[in-house]
Chains A and B, each alone.
Chain A
Amino acid sequence: MTDTAHEARHIPDRLDSPARAALFSWPTLLLIVGVALFIINSMASPYFLSPWSLSDATFNFTEKAIIALAMALLIIAGEIDLSVASIIALASTAMGVALQFGVDVPGLVTIGILTGLICGIFNGFLVTGLGLPSIVVTIGTMSFFRGISYIVLGDQAFKGYPAGFDYFGQGYVWWVVSFEFALFLLFALLYYVLLHHTNFGRQVFTIGNNPVAARFSGVRVERIKFILFCLTGLMSGIAAVLLTSRLASTRPSIAVGWELEVVTMVVLGGVSILGGSGTIQGVVIAAFIMGLVTFGLGLLNVPGIVMSIFIGALLICVIALPILWARMRRRAAR
């Protein structure tokens, strides 16, 4: 029994013209929201419109956005990974342990990224190898990975990362463009090409729309999902390097609650939580929107917890409003 087989698919007689489709697409809608937020922010605070403060604003979201790129692919394929924040904690802890043995900077980075990848492989094996539902598996690995960090660290913290390690989270590539931000743009481009211009990307969409049909069409569903889990783990490892370098310390409570923010970012970016549709452009714009909201409200001295109300409301609104809008149009047409 498959649920997807029962889904009604309405095929329109005539497709909208590409220009019209692009005009009313999700990324366009998001872009309008983003530009509006930008204008409101620059009117609300005189400190907003300076290159340096805008550059500071990017630090708020780049690490999460880097994970969100891989998470988008995973959600499009109909799976989810809630353990990403815990992977950051574990990878950061692994780097901290390596630090105690005097590993140099390239070694630390390698260990951080590899730990992320191993966690991804572990998730991928449980989900695709044993055929378990990803949401439960990753809730389990979420406490498991962070739990290991707690076992290693307890209430302690690793500090004293070597000079040179701070470049990843605090360095600038050119003028106000931070290393993190440049890396994010590079990854955004890579993931855009991967999802929208390769066979692999097509297969990801196919799996998300109908895994059974995908299998009958010769798509190696399990293998691709496995790769996506590995990618998400890898990106979490990279985010761990960036975050550890930015904070210059490791605590087991590092990046707590990020998994939900990353998922929010992806869903806000127009990726269907049911799988099968979404764009990288949308996710990138959603990342900027979340960065703008938190940074703009921060300039206005709004506490972080109140910002989370905005983020939560934004998430529900951007999903509910188009549904209400479509329903009203249908009613009007009747």
Chain B
Amino acid sequence: MKSILRFREFWLAAIVVVMVIATNLRAPGFAAPDKLAGIFNDTAMLMILALGQMAVILTRSIDLSMASNLALTGMIVALINAAFPGIPIPALMLFACLCGLALGAFNGVLIWLLNIPAIVVTLGTLTIYRGIIFLIAGGQWVNADKLSPAFVQYTRIEFLGLPALSWYAIVVAIAFFILMTRTSLGRAIYAVGVNPTASVYAGIDVGRTKFATFLISGLLSGFCGYLWVSRYVIGSVEVAKGYELTIIAACVIGGISISGGVGTVAGALLGALFLGVINSALPVINVSPFWQMAISGAAIILAVVLNARGEKRGSRLILREAEATS
């Protein structure tokens, strides 16, 4: 089984490399190290978010509220920064994480304690969280002249040639790798996804494991909330609108099975990178950016078809969950 998994990630990596080389042939200079570092930096947030979504999807749930969580947390931090520029940025980053954690916990509690399907809960909070942005900001934007210089700098400071944003993604990815492969929570997440009923007999609390994954996805969304506002220097209701589906797309392309239990950290990262490379390559080879959406759609469909052929067991609906939590 493990060799098949490695196989899939190998192929995905190969496709990404081929895309980079092919683009480089059409537009020399695309594969220059600084350009590649730029693509990596552009994809950093998608990688972090895809990892959070992966944890949720592995337990057969789905978190549609990540982008709204990100936008709401981003707006909250931006408003705080605009009102009190004196607050040190690391404290603000920590606050963003806690804020996202709280929003994720709200999803998680409803899913854990009331047993409501995740897709319904997060469909609701998707609209609620985004609506709250409008309420707290009064429909206003927070833009560059209101944010403190330090707020904007914390994603841009370079360290060993890479901007801080890239380093955040690298740190999160390493932490995630350890979490998924070296801790009991990580193993529990896989176990719940593969077979909830058996997990209960093995002493795993299915509901609590799902709750934990929503804490993770919430925390990472909140963190990215700060990153987003800092990087694009804008906080508004429209921030990251529709991005929840891009995150899921990255996971699906990365070979994370929507029916739970199958997927790796490398897969999620490569899935995000795949979309990142496409986004950067299209303008370079003179394809209208309007092609982007159809291409990523086609990539998702293709990825699902290929993944389904790779998986030996039949696919299962994410909406159907075993009553194994009692």
Contacts and interface: CB of A to CB of B under 8 A. Distances in A.
A312 B128 contact: yes
Interface string B293-326: 1111110110111001000011111111111100
Contacts of A3: 196-197, 316, 320-322
Contact of B117 (A148, A273, A312, A324): A273
A252 B237 CA distance: 21
B127 interface: yes
Contacts of A19: none
Interface in B9-54: none
B258 A135 contact: yes
A307 B294 CA distance: 31
A147 B258 CA distance: 23
Interface string B264-299: 000000000000000000000000101111111110
Please classify how large the interface on chain A is, using the bins under 10, 10 to 19, 20 to 34, 35 or more: 35 or more
A126 B308 CA distance: 11
B123 A260 contact: yes
A315 B301 contact: no
Interface in A215-233: none
Given A79-B317, A312-B131, A150 B123 contact: no
Nearest to A309: B131
A120 to B, nearest CB: 15
A88 to B, nearest CB: 15
Interface string A87-113: 000000000000000000000000000
B110 A305 contact: no
Interface stretch (A137-145, A165-173, A279-287): A137-145
Interface stretch (A4-12, A39-47, A181-189): A4-12
Interface stretch (B132-140, B147-155, B162-170): B132-140
A319 interface: yes
Given A320-B110, A323-B115, A144 B124 contact: no
Contacts of B237: 305
A133 B315 contact: yes
A130 B139 contact: no
Nearest to B198: A1
B245 A142 contact: yes
Q: In which size bucket is the chain B interface? A: 35 or more
A143 to B, nearest CB: 3
Contacts of B324: 6
B119 interface: yes
Given A140-B300, A141-B297, A316 B121 contact: yes
Given A136-B300, A140-B304, A154-B290, A264 B317 contact: no
Given A140-B301, A147-B293, A6 B323 contact: yes
Contacts of B202: none
Contact of A313 (B128, B134, B296): B128
A151 interface: yes
A182 to B, nearest CB: 30
Interface string B84-121: 00000000000000000000000000100011110111
Given A151-B288, A154-B288, A312-B131, A133 B258 contact: yes
B109 to A, nearest CB: 10
A64 to B, nearest CB: 14
A306 interface: yes
B125 A133 contact: no
B127 A131 contact: no
B245 A146 contact: no
A147 B318 CA distance: 25
Contacts of A323: 114-116
Interface string A311-327: 11101100110011000
Nearest to B294: A147
B209 interface: no
Contact of A146 (B110, B134, B293): B293
A154 B290 CA distance: 6
A298 to B, nearest CB: 15
Contact of B134 (A7, A80, A303, A311): A303
A320 B127 CA distance: 17
Given A303-B139, A312-B126, A319-B116, A143 B300 contact: yes
A132 B315 contact: yes
A25 interface: no
B119 A151 contact: no
A134 interface: yes
B125 A6 contact: no
A116 interface: no
A287 B242 CA distance: 24
B320 A4 contact: yes
Contacts of B290: 147, 150-151, 153-155, 252
A275 B319 contact: yes
A3 B294 CA distance: 34
Contacts of B196: 3
A267 interface: yes
Contact of A311 (B127, B249, B296, B323): B127
A145 B297 contact: yes
A135 B290 CA distance: 24
A142 B320 CA distance: 22
Given A312-B127, A323-B114, A135 B295 contact: no
A151 B291 contact: yes
A133 B256 CA distance: 13
8 contacts: A3-B196, A3-B316, A146-B297, A263-B123, A305-B134, A308-B130, A316-B110, A316-B121
Shortest Cβ-Cβ A-B pairs, 3 listed: A147-B294, A144-B297, A143-B297
Interface of B: 62, 64, 110, 114-117, 119-121, 123-128, 130-132, 134-135, 139, 195-197, 237, 242, 245, 248-249, 252, 258-259, 288, 290-298, 300-301, 303-305, 308, 313-324
Given A147-B293, A154-B288, 12 more contacts: A1-B195, A126-B301, A133-B317, A146-B293, A305-B131, A309-B132, A309-B135, A312-B123, A313-B124, A316-B120, A319-B120, A323-B116
